[in-house]
């Protein structure tokens, strides 16, 4: 970046006739050191070209940063497939408003709108499942079953939760926040966590 800014200063000097005449050379070092020493003038034209060049550099950098963020930030490797999958209106039944009405019907409105599922890729709206639906998630190893599905559902549900696991990560990630909602019991039959029965 420093090199590009220095190049913008040099290009600004090349477009200014007084600077070119005082330097007598297109060598950037001669121009820059001459201006630092006071033997070569700094003109308004050079400053204008330099300012515009720097603005253009920052605009390009911002555009590239935005493009990179759009490409990777908050998006998974399959998000680009959203255009060929279900449409936004196909997900109306899973929106917070529809599931809040369903939770009211079931008498479970105090537990949240519904069971948190995900955010819709197309418009980032949150999706919820009904409290009376059964979910089956089939995911490979390290695909985020615990961190992306189980933990958010346990933490965001205000009502009672029963969770089982053959690893201790569910307890480690949810015990603290859930204890602020109420009592948390851990039944460590296989000694995975190492807590004695109470």
pLDDT digits (tens, 9 = 90+) for 75-92: 556 666 666 777 778 888
pLDDT at position 76 is: 59
The first and second tokens of residue 100, run together, are 């809040």
Is 182's pLDDT higher than 80? yes
Range 56-70 average pLDDT? 84
Buried residues in 100-114 as b, exposed as e (16+ CB within 10 A): eebbeeeebbebbbb
The answer to whether residues 174 and 128 touch, using CB atoms and an 8 Å cutoff, is no
Report pLDDT digits (tens) over 15-30. Answer: 776 766 667 666 777 6
pLDDT at position 79 is: 65
Range 177-187 average pLDDT? 91
Is 96's pLDDT higher than 60? yes
- Dihedral of the alpha carbons of 152, 155, 156, 160, in degrees to the nearest 10: 130
Q: How confident is the model at residue 71 (pLDDT cuts 50, 70, 90)?
A: low
pLDDT at position 12 is: 73
Count of CB atoms situated within 10 Å of the CB of 161: 16
Q: How far is the C-alpha of 141 from the C-alpha of 94, rounded, in Å?
A: 27
- Please name the residues in contact with 40: beta carbons below 8 A apart, sequence gap of 6 or more: 13, 19, 22, 23, 31, 34
Report pLDDT digits (tens) over 1-13. Answer: 777 777 777 677 7
């Amino acid at each position: 970046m420093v090199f590009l800014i220095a190049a913008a200063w040099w290009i600004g000097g090349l477009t200014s006739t007084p600077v070119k005449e005082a330097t007598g050379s297109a060598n950037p070092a001669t121009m820059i050191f001459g201006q630092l020493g006071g033997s070569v003038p700094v003109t308004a034209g050079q400053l204008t070209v330099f300012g515009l060049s720097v603005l253009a550099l920052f605009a390009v950098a911002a555009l590239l940063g935005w493009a990179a963020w759009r490409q990777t930030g908050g998006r998974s490797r399959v998000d680009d497939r959203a255009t060929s999958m279900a449409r936004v209106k196909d997900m109306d039944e899973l929106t917070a408003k529809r599931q809040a009405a369903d939770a009211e019907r079931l008498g479970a409105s105090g537990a949240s709108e519904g069971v948190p599922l995900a955010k819709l890729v197309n418009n980032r709206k949150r999706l919820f499942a009904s409290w009376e639906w059964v979910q089956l998630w089939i995911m490979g190893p390290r695909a985020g079953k615990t961190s992306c599905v189980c933990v958010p559902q346990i933490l965001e549900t205000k009502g009672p939760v029963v969770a089982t696991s053959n690893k201790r990560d569910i307890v480690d990630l949810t015990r603290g926040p859930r204890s602020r909602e109420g009592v948390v019991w851990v039944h460590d039959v296989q000694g995975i966590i190492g807590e004695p029965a109470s």
